[in-house]
């Protein structure tokens, strides 16, 4: 006996079946088929042998359908057969039903266009045109293709899924993933490879995220067309910004290729430390310039040397506030939690500053990085302290007596400093 969708049985029906399963009649076998095993009671599962069936791979379905077409002596495009195999979604029965539908619909050679029309799929040409408009960042073409998709009544979810699949294939190709993960013909693979070469990997990942988000909210928006139009506009808007860390890393790589002392960056720095240094040490004659490892400690000289060797590192230095610089210590202050504070706290950064100071002045000062509270955080903290002081002032016993005595109300609380 075969019971399909057995999880639909009621609890009473399972209880009635339990006794028969415990002591089945001779020669009687029960086969329970279900796609929701978690709904079957444990008492039933414990008395059955379980076999989990997997979906048939797309390549196996494609090969089997190809054999059928050869036996029937029917002419079919490779792309058309792959489309049917993909739509079968792991079920050979469903794929065969779709193939019968396509054969009945077609007249002569079965093409991808006929498969799309008979199964209600998006025209393959529109898919390729959409991808090409993304690659060329042509917003007019992208919105024009979207207009055709809506005007012809194609299923929007299927259209987005196919776009997502194509972008996924391009990402795999860029990462040199084996073609066994990409179920496509050689012609389509060549086209995907050509498109993938024109786009940065970060852009493909951004497109994937945008379309994935649109798919997720598609059923919850009242105007899906507006959602997709904005999504396509964002896809075809080429990003030119880069993270600051990436720019600094690129800059340092370029520095190493430049001749010593070339390509300086204009950087502003404070004069106070230089004045302090000039007070502590006598000024040197312009004719007698100090050699490496000699001469007075000078923040300006240190900064100029760093600018020549590593402009990216100099940019981090000037963002800090110089607290002090002498033979034993270099103290800088940065805004807490800022990017520059993080970079200045790195051991590699500090070791380079120490090495440069040793080359210039013959000293190895300890690099001390201090953190100061961000302006917004300080303002918030001051505001909270002021509120707390006002609350404490209102609780003053003398103030409470005065309010009661005169029948007054407190309009404002001010600090004596104000």
Report the relative pairing of strands 321-325 and 366-372 from DSSP bridges: unpaired
Q: What is the CATH number of the domain that holds 115?
A: 1.10.8.60
CA distances in angstroms from 146 to 219, 221, 240, listed in the order given: 18, 17, 25
CA distances in angstroms from 228 to 210, 232, 324, listed in the order given: 10, 6, 57
Answer yes or no: do 342 and 266 share one domain.
Answer: yes
CA distances in angstroms from 263 to 175, 307, 316, 348, listed in the order given: 35, 9, 17, 23
Answer yes or no: do 336 and 414 share one domain.
Answer: no
Answer yes or no: do 401 and 307 share one domain.
Answer: no
Does residue 52 lie in a domain region? no
If you write DSSP's letter for every residue of 15-45 in order, what string do you get? Answer: HHHHHHHHSPPTT---EEE-S-GGGS-HHHH
Answer yes or no: do 11 and 38 share one domain.
Answer: yes
Answer yes or no: do 312 and 223 share one domain.
Answer: no
Number of domains composing the chain: 5
Q: Phi and psi dihedrals of 31, rounded to 5?
A: -120, 115
Does residue 262 lie in a domain region? yes
Answer yes or no: do 183 and 207 share one domain.
Answer: yes
Query: Which pair of tokens denotes residue 65?
Result: 């359908």
Does residue 212 lie in a domain region? yes
Measured between alpha carbons, how far is 139 from 86 in angstroms, rounded to an integer? 30
Measured between alpha carbons, how far is 86 from 61 in angstroms, rounded to an integer? 9
Does residue 274 lie in a domain region? yes
Does residue 264 lie in a domain region? yes
Q: Phi and psi dihedrals of 76, rounded to 5?
A: -145, 140
Answer yes or no: do 256 and 360 share one domain.
Answer: yes
pLDDT of 179: 63
pLDDT of 265: 40
Answer yes or no: do 269 and 225 share one domain.
Answer: no
Closest CA to 82 of 59, 107, 106: 59
Residue finishing a domain among 72, 99, 119: 119
Mean pLDDT, contiguous 10-residue spans, the chain (418 residues)? 90 88 85 90 89 84 89 85 82 88 81 78 82 92 92 87 90 79 76 88 90 89 90 85 61 66 43 47 42 60 87 84 88 82 86 89 87 64 71 75 74 65
Measured between alpha carbons, how far is 344 from 323 in angstroms, rounded to an integer? 14
Answer yes or no: do 365 and 306 share one domain.
Answer: yes
pLDDT of 245: 61
Q: Which domain holds residue 88?
A: 58-119
Answer yes or no: do 132 and 224 share one domain.
Answer: yes
Q: Phi and psi dihedrals of 199, rounded to 5?
A: -125, 145
By the 8 A CB rule, do 61 and 30 touch?
Answer: no
The model scores a pTM over 0.75: no
Q: What is the CATH number of the domain that holds 182?
A: 1.20.272.10
Does residue 189 lie in a domain region? yes
Answer yes or no: do 72 and 95 share one domain.
Answer: yes
Answer yes or no: do 226 and 158 share one domain.
Answer: yes
By the 8 A CB rule, do 235 and 139 touch?
Answer: no
């Amino acid at each position: 006996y075969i019971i399909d969708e057995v999880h639909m049985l009621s609890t009473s029906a399972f209880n009635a079946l339990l006794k028969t399963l415990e002591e089945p009649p001779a020669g009687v076998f029960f086969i329970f088929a279900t796609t929701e095993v978690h709904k079957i009671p444990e008492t039933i599962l414990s008395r059955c042998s379980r076999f989990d069936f997997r979906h048939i791979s797309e390549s196996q379905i494609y090969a089997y359908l190809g054999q059928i077409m050869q036996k029937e002596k029917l002419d079919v495009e490779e792309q058309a057969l792959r489309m049917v195999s993909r739509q079968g979604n792991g079920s050979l029965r469903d794929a065969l039903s779709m193939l019968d539908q396509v054969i009945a619909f077609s007249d002569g050679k079965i093409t991808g266009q006929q498969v799309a029309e008979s199964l209600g799929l998006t025209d393959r040409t529109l898919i390729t045109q959409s991808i090409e408009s993304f690659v060329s960042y042509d917003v007019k073409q992208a919105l024009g293709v979207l207009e055709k998709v809506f005007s012809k009544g194609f299923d929007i979810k299927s259209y987005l899924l196919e776009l997502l699949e194509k972008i996924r294939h391009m990402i795999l190709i860029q990462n040199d993933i084996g073609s066994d993960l990409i179920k496509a013909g050689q012609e389509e693979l060549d086209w995907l490879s050509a498109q993938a070469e024109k786009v940065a990997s970060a852009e493909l990942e951004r497109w994937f995220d945008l379309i994935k988000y649109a798919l997720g909210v598609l059923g919850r928006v009242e105007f899906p067309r507006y959602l997709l139009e904005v999504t396509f506009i964002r896809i075809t808007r080429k990003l030119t910004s880069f993270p600051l860390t990436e720019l600094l890393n690129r800059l340092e790589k370029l520095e190493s290729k430049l001749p010593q002392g070339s390509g300086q960056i204009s950087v502003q720095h404070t004069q106070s430390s230089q004045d302090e240094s000039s007070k502590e040490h006598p000024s040197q004659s312009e004719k007698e310039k100090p050699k490496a490892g000699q001469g007075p400690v000078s923040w300006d000289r240190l900064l100029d040397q760093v600018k020549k060797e590593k402009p990216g590192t100099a940019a981090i230095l000037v963002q800090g506030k110089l607290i002090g610089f002498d033979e034993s210590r270099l103290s800088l202050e940065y805004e807490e939690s800022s990017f520059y504070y993080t970079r200045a706290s790195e051991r590699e950064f500090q070791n380079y500053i120490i090495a440069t100071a040793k080359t210039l002045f013959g000293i190895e000062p300890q690099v001390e990085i201090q953190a100061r509270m961000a302006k917004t955080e300080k303002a918030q903290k001051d505001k909270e302290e002021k509120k707390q002081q006002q609350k404490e002032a209102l609780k003053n016993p003398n103030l409470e007596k005065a309010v009661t005595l005169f029948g007054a109300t407190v309009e404002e609380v001010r600090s004596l400093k104000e």
